[in-house]
């Protein structure tokens, strides 16, 4: 499958007033930058190492999808479902993840500079060693999330949100001080 095939699937689905269905698709390493996969089904899809810079995946269903080592800078994932998704070492700089479900997702070693996580569900998500410099996290559910060794420099997050995180070991806090 290549980008042209993906675009055909999207076009055909929209012509039939259906949602694009790429469940379980192997899209690893593909350049899908700027593509419109709004409300698409991508459950279990392999997007490992793919380039989705500037793409629209708002309201997409990506349950247990593999987005590890992918480039998702400036992507729209507003209200998407990434339950138990693998986003290990993924680049999500300046991404829109408002109200996104990241429950149980792996975002360890991810790059999330200036990401918008306002109202996102981060319950038991793994952000170990992730860089969340200047992240907007107001209203996000951080209960049980692991931010051990993460960088939260200048992140916009409340004390209440910090108090329910499961691990802040060696985390660089919003004020720039490393927690032991």
pLDDT tens across 33-76, in order? Answer: 999 999 999 999 999 999 999 999 999 999 999 999 999 999 99
Which structure tokens are listed for 9? 């699937």
Which residues span the domain enclosing 85? Answer: 21-180
- Tell me: pLDDT of 84 over 90: yes
Closest by CA position to 95, among listed 35, 54, 126 = 54
Residue 112 located in a structural domain:
yes
The per-residue pLDDT for 42 is 99
The per-residue pLDDT for 33 is 98
The per-residue pLDDT for 120 is 99
Residue 27 located in a structural domain:
yes
Residue 6 located in a structural domain:
no
Residue 7 located in a structural domain:
no
Domain tally, the chain = 1
Residue 42 located in a structural domain:
yes
Confidence of residue 32 (pLDDT cuts 50, 70, 90): very high
- Tell me: pLDDT of 6 over 90: yes
pLDDT tens across 115-172, in order? Answer: 999 999 999 999 999 999 999 999 999 999 999 999 999 999 999 999 999 999 999 9
Contact 109, 130 (CB under 8 A): yes
The per-residue pLDDT for 161 is 97
Residue 10 located in a structural domain:
no
Contact 82, 61 (CB under 8 A): no
What is the average pLDDT across 90-118?
99
Contact 22, 5 (CB under 8 A): no
Q: Is the pTM of this model over 0.75?
A: yes
Residue 169 located in a structural domain:
yes
Q: Rounded distance, CA 77 to CA 98, Å?
A: 7
The per-residue pLDDT for 180 is 80
CATH number of the domain at 41, please. 2.160.20.80
Residue 26 located in a structural domain:
yes
């Amino acid at each position: 499958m290549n980008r042209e095939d993906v675009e055909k699937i999207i076009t055909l689905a929209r012509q039939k007033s259906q949602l694009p269905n790429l469940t379980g698709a192997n899209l690893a390493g593909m350049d899908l930058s700027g593509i419109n996969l709004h409300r698409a089904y991508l459950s279990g899809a392999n997007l490992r190492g793919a380039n989705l810079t500037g793409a629209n995946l708002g309201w997409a269903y990506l349950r247990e999808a593999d987005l590890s080592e992918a480039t998702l800078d400036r992507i729209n994932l507003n209200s998407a479902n990434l339950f138990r998704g693998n986003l290990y070492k993924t680049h999500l700089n300046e991404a829109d993840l408002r109200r996104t479900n990241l429950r149980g997702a792996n975002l360890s070693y991810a790059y999330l500079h200036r990401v918008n996580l306002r109202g996102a569900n981060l319950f038991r998500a793994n952000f170990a060693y992730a860089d969340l410099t200047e992240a907007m996290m107001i209203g996000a559910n951080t209960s049980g999330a692991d931010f051990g060794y993460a960088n939260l420099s200048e992140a916009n997050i409340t004390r209440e949100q910090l108090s329910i995180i499961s691990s802040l070991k060696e985390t660089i806090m919003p004020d720039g001080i490393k927690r032991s």
